[in-house]
Amino acid sequence: MIVTENKEMICENLKRSSDGELCFADMPLSPLAEKYGTPLYLYDEARVRHNCRVYLDAVREGFGEDARVMYASKAASFKQLYRIIKEEGLGVDVVSCGEIYTAHLAGFPLQNAYFHSNNKTDDDIDFAISHGVGCFVVDNAEELFAIDKIAAKHGIRQKIMLRITPGIDPHTYAAVATGKVDSKFGSAIETGQAKAITSLALTFDNLELTGFHCHVGSQIFDAEVYLATSKVMLGFVNDMERELGFICRDLDIGGGLGVRYIESQPTLDIKATVLKVGEEMKKEVARLGIALPRISLEPGRSIVADAGLTLYTVGTVKRIPGYKTYVSVDGGMTDNPRFALYGSPYTILPVFDDESIPRESCSVVGRCCESGDILQENVPMPTDIERGDLLACLTTGAYHYSMASNYNRIPRPPVVMLKDGESYVAVKRESLEDIVGLDV
C-alpha cells in the first residue's frame, strides 16, 4: 500500500492511502473495523511512547535531570496503558481507588504516583496507603487530619504535597478551569488559606510535607499561563521559606497543555513550551535567591489524545429538507460525551473518501435516546454517505474511554492497541452479560 501525506490530516499518525482509505499508525482502518467491530477505540502505541519521550526529554532539559512527568491517568486508564507509562519511565497521577487498583494490577510502582482528589474518603486514604502510593496531593485542611490518623494506623510517615490555587485564569472552558480563587480545588494564596494550610501541615507527626502542587486548567495553548502560574507559585515558595522556614523540595505545576482537535487549532510545541517555562523559572529562582525545587508536570490529554481514534459505522442518514441532515452512528455520547458536555470540536472523516464527491454539512449523532447525543455539528460529509460506511473521529485518546458510560445500557467499545503493523486488545468489548453482571 502506498501511503501519502494528506493536507486534511491534523495528526502526524494519520494518512490516506492512494486508494482513498484512511490509515492510522500506518494501518488501514477497514480491516480493523472488520476484525473488532464498531464502535471501536484505537490507540497508536508508538504515539503514546513518543509523547512520553518528548515530555521526559523536555523536562530534563528544562528543569534538570531530577524533573518528573506524572501522567494524569484520568485521561485514559487501563492496565496496558500503565505498563507503557511504566516502561517509558513516567510516574502517574491517580484520583480514585479504581485508578490505583488498575495501576497496581498492571504492576505499576505506586511509589511513583501522586494521589489527587478534592474529597478523599477515609477508605480511599486507607486503600492508597495500603497500596504504597508515594505522595498524596492534599486538597484541604480536613484531609490533613484524616491522612495523619490513617498513616499512624499503618505506622508510616506519608509524604504529602499541598494543592495551592494560584489565582490564575487559564482562559479555557469553564468545566476544566481550576486555578481561579473560587475553584473547588486547593487552598488559595489570595485568601491566606494557602499559608495557613502550609503552617498546619508542618505540625503532624505522620505527615512529611515535601512541597506544593497546582493545576490551573486543561486544553491550554498559551504558554503565558504557565509562566504566570510558575511565577506565582515560586513567589509562594519563597514566602513560605522566609515566613515559615519551610524549604519546598517538590513543585508540581500541573498538566493542561492543549491538543489539536480541528484544523484551526494550533499544534502546540511541547518541548519549546516546557523549555520556555524552565528558562523563566530558573531566572525567577535566581532573582528570589531560592533553590529550584524538583519540578513535576502532570500532562494527561497531550500524552494520549492524538494516539487515539474512534471508528464508527453509519446507520440512518436522515435528510430534513430545508433543515439539516443527520448522520447517525453506532456510538455516541456513551463513548464520547465531550460534545454534549463541553461543545468540544472534533474532526470526523469518512474512512473511504473520494474527494470528487460533493460535500454536505451534516450533524453526526449517536444512537442514544436523547437529542443532545451529538458527536459534532456541521461536519462536511460526502453526499453519497450511506448505511454501512465507516467514519473515523480523530484525537479521541483522552477523556473518551475514561468518560464512557452505559447510558441506555449500551455496552462500552473495546480498546485496541496498534503496534508495528499489528493490533491487540487492551480492553475487551463489553457484552450484554457485563451490562447485567451486577444486577441481582
Gap between the Cα atoms of 127 and 60, Å rounded: 32
218 interacts with ligand LLP by CB under 6 A: yes
Contact with ligand LLP (CB under 6 A) among 40, 48, 75, 270 = 75
Q: 345 and 376 in contact (C-beta within 8 Å)?
A: yes
Per CB under 6 A, the segment of 123-131, 153-161, 215-223, 229-237 that binds ligand LLP is: 215-223
Contact with ligand LLP (CB under 6 A) among 302, 310, 328, 336 = 302
166 interacts with ligand LLP by CB under 6 A: no
Q: Of residues 173-212, which lie at the interface with ligand LLP (CB under 6 A)?
A: 176
State whether the Cα torsion 409-93-73-427 is positive or negative. Answer: negative
369 is catalytic: yes
Per CB under 6 A, the segment of 39-47, 267-275, 296-304, 421-429 that binds ligand LLP is: 296-304
- Measured in degrees and rounded to the nearest 5, phi and psi for residue 248 equal -80, 120
Residue with Cβ nearer ligand LLP (16 or 260): 260
Determine which helix (DSSP H) or strand (DSSP E) holds 231, and give its type and residue range: helix 223-244
**Of 248, 362, 369, 393, which is the active-site residue?**
369
Q: How far is the CB of 394 from ligand LLP (least distance, A)?
A: 15
Residue with Cβ nearer ligand LLP (298 or 330): 298
93 interacts with ligand LLP by CB under 6 A: yes
How many residues line the site for ligand LLP (CB under 6 A)?
Answer: 21
Q: Of residues 337-376, which lie at the interface with ligand LLP (CB under 6 A)?
A: 338
Length of the chain: 440
268 interacts with ligand LLP by CB under 6 A: no
Sequence-distant (≥ 6) Cβ neighbours of residue 112 within 8 angstroms: 70, 90, 91, 92, 134
Gap between the Cα atoms of 262 and 221, Å rounded: 14
Q: 393 and 403 in contact (C-beta within 8 Å)?
A: no
- Measured in degrees and rounded to the nearest 5, phi and psi for residue 24 equal -125, 135
The most distant pair of C-alpha atoms in the chain lies apart, rounded to whole Å, by 72
Contact with ligand LLP (CB under 6 A) among 39, 62, 254, 397 = 254
Gap between the Cα atoms of 432 and 131, Å rounded: 32
Residue with Cβ nearer ligand LLP (335 or 389): 335
Q: Say how many CA atoms lie within 13 Å of 104 toward its Cβ.
A: 14
Q: How far is the CB of 256 from ligand LLP (least distance, A)?
A: 4
Cα–Cα nearest to 415, from 71, 117, 36: 36
72 interacts with ligand LLP by CB under 6 A: yes
Contact with ligand LLP (CB under 6 A) among 299, 350, 382, 414 = 299
Gap between the Cα atoms of 202 and 208, Å rounded: 8
Q: Of residues 7-66, which lie at the interface with ligand LLP (CB under 6 A)?
A: none
Residue with Cβ nearer ligand LLP (159 or 338): 338
- Grid coordinates belonging to 123: 477508605
Sequence-distant (≥ 6) Cβ neighbours of residue 269 within 8 angstroms: none
Per CB under 6 A, the segment of 39-47, 68-76, 128-136, 318-326 that binds ligand LLP is: 68-76
Cite the active site residues.
369
Residues found near ligand LLP in the complex (CB under 6 A)? 72, 74-75, 93, 116, 176, 215, 218-219, 254-257, 298-302, 338, 398-399
